[in-house]
Amino acid sequence: MGKSRESGRIEQEIEKLREQLNEHNYHYYVLDDPVISDAEYDRLFEKLKILESQRPDLVTPDSPTQRVGAPPLKEFAEVKHEIPMLSLENAFVPDDITAFDQRIHDRLETSSPIEYCCEPKLDGLAMSIRYENGLLVQAATRGDGATGEDVTENIKTIKMVPLRLRGDNIPRILEVRGEVFMSKSGFDKLNSLAQKKGEKIFANPRNAAAGSVRQLDSQITASRPLEIYCYGVGLVEGYKLPDKHSDILKRLSHWGLRVSSLVEVVKGADGCLTYYQHMSHKREKLPYEIDGVVYKVNDIALQEKLGFVSRAPRWAIAHKFPAEEVNTIIEAVEFQVGRTGALTPVARLKPVRVHGVTVSNATLHNMDEIQRKDIHVGDTVIVRRAGDVIPEVAGVVRKLRPGSAKKIILPTHCPVCRSAVEHVEGEAVARCTGGLFCAAQRKETIKHFASRRAMDIEGLGDKLVEQLVDTRLIESVADIYDLTQTQLENLERMGEKSAQKLLEQIEKSKSTTYARFLYALGIREVGEATAKALANHFRTLQALQSATEEDLQSVPDIGPVVAAHIAHFFQERHNRDIISKLINAGVHWPLIKESNHLPLSGKTFVITGTLSNMSRDEAKERLEKLGAKVAGSVSAKTSYVVVGVDPGSKYDKARELGIPILDDKQFHAFLNKF
């Protein structure tokens, strides 16, 4: 009886300490209004650690003691954002903001002043943090906007990120978007310590923040002075958000998330520009770096009406602060090949100090920019750099051009692999077409090829790919299938069992689908949907390889630009050779049936909410195998809407339009008919 009473007392004390520490974290980091001293906080924290060590069965994931503790990772897992993390259009002068405001009025067909929510634009790393029933379950970097890296253990080390949300009416699922950054003083202390230890110092706070978040060992991240401000939401289920963006931010603060105190709501372009001037004067006194401000249409209904263009919302814009500019001379120009094959002209400059940094290289962006600015080797040019932005050549001082100045010419062949360079008419960027062969693209090509949605080679992660390429065991994706047990065992962190397991996964990957194989090749702008469309239209690889650009444009949703990318890819002999090696290595797939013979051909489905019997990806795959198209939004053309637990606005729209709705059980029964 005595032991039982003592056990209950410890349990109550642990719970009480957690509540106290979480409340103090909220006051310190969110409200900026601490109610106890640091020493008192440390005392409570140590007491909780002692009690939890006595009762490890009572340790919970949201305990303040669990911010660090996971063993180092071998690599970061991939996370697909259910709602993409968008980039913003940039503005640099007041006229850009006036034009932005006018576009909003024109699209909404209104003359009434628009209300905007204004906030500082932090110079950090964008992050998406997912809470389920109030508990932090995942954190991911922005990545390319559609897919990021799982950095959950690292984000949990940031004390101003609550492990469990506080307050009431907490959504079943909440993805909060924010910016991880490092303060000026934190950055200075970190570099000072690194200098004393003889370690490499960081160039700027943004690099320091990004490098700290991407540590495989969360203990290292925990030692870095990282902070966060939240600026919006992604996926939200089980809760109706307020109608105004500014009110959503207040709700996030209510739940214990840190939101900038500098957020303001203004009216019209004049209000935005007044806020810009205010923040411009305040900038130097802020404890962290900002490189501009962001304006967002405050009304959520208007945001939805305005929609998106490409990967940027029409309802928001970033107003950048002016960059520092200096003059120097272009001594030479080289073309660098990026991981996607893009050729970027880089100016080699006479070294010059810009924004506190010595600059000897600057991007020239592309040939269109070179021609527009009339840049020659030997020119005196204006070099601009703002914050962490890569230095660029802003213009030419033509009156100082020497007689020996030379025009800059785009190479016809890749400077790395000698494959043909593709420069599609109407596109600014020129690219190497040797995607499966080019050494500059090799690592990224192999990582993509092995990824889960491509060939799905479990265990062949980013770090291992880099090792295999660096040790020259792999020079193309075809070499994956020639790897031996002995070669793998000799690699760092690879024993006999790990090597055998990886070889089993490589062998398993040989049996795939035609669409996955096409997606795995990494053809520019050929995503999963386009790969499926190509597979269904050209049912054999031979038919696709011999297709003309005109043939390719007969496939739904493939226009002249994408058709050109596909045609150029298959015209490159190196790519065809590697594809042949893959087929000879045993990569195969079942014959594609004609899509118009499939039972759900011509039907469009939309899935909303959480399904109990399968994931959304599994449901999508099953529907597509039956010939259906799975869309992301409901329209009059939608055939069925599949509804799981906690559906969103798609369910309401389906009811409004009178579209047939299948609940979880009905959907399961529907699929079992085929």
> Annotated catalytic sites, by residue?
121
| Listed residue (218, 221, 216, 222) closest to 75, CA to CA | 216
The residues pairing with 325 across neighbouring beta strands, listed in sequence order, are 384
How many separate helices (H) and strands (E) can be counted in the chain?
Answer: 24, 26
Q: Residue 526 phi/psi, 5° resolution? A: -100, 90
| Whole-number Å distance between alpha carbons of 458 and 473 | 18
Q: Which two tokens stand for residue 404?
A: 């020996």
Q: Which two tokens stand for residue 252?
A: 């996030």
Q: Residue 540 phi/psi, 5° resolution? A: -130, 155
Q: Where are the alpha helices (DSSP H) in 214-282?
A: 218-222, 245-254, 268-282
Tell me the pairing of strands 629-631 and 604-608: parallel
Q: Which amino acid is at 352?
A: V
Residue 408: how many CA atoms within 13 Å on its side-chain side?
Answer: 27
Residue 593: how many CA atoms within 13 Å on its side-chain side?
Answer: 11
Q: How distant, in Å, are the alpha carbons of 88, 89, 118, 318 from that of 100?
A: 12, 10, 14, 11
Place of tokens 């499939």: 598
Q: Which two tokens stand for residue 240?
A: 């109706």
The residues pairing with 382 across neighbouring beta strands, listed in sequence order, are 327, 395
Place of tokens 């200098």: 195
Tell me the pairing of strands 604-608 and 640-643: parallel
Burial 587-606 (b: 16+ CB within 10 A, else e): bebeebeebeebebeebbbb
| Listed residue (38, 29, 86) closest to 260, CA to CA | 29
Beta strand segments in 423-558, E = 430-432
CB contact at 8 A, 471 and 610:
no
The alpha carbons of the chain give a radius of gyration, in whole angstroms, of 28
Place of tokens 């009025």: 105
Q: Residue 178 phi/psi, 5° resolution? A: -155, 180
> How long, in residues, is the chain?
674
| Listed residue (515, 607, 647) closest to 239, CA to CA | 647
Query: What would the DSSP string read from start to end of 122-175?
Result: ESSEEEEEEEETTEEEEEEE-TTSSEEEB-HHHHTT-TTS-SB--SSS--SEEE
Q: Which two tokens stand for residue 559?
A: 């226009």
Task: Give the rounded distance of the alpha carbon of 465 from its chain centre.
Answer: 20
Task: Give the rounded distance of the alpha carbon of 580 from its chain centre.
Answer: 33
CB contact at 8 A, 48 and 21:
yes
| Whole-number Å distance between alpha carbons of 318 and 211 | 24
End-to-end Cα separation, the chain, in angstroms: 61
| Whole-number Å distance between alpha carbons of 550 and 564 | 9
DSSP character for 440? T
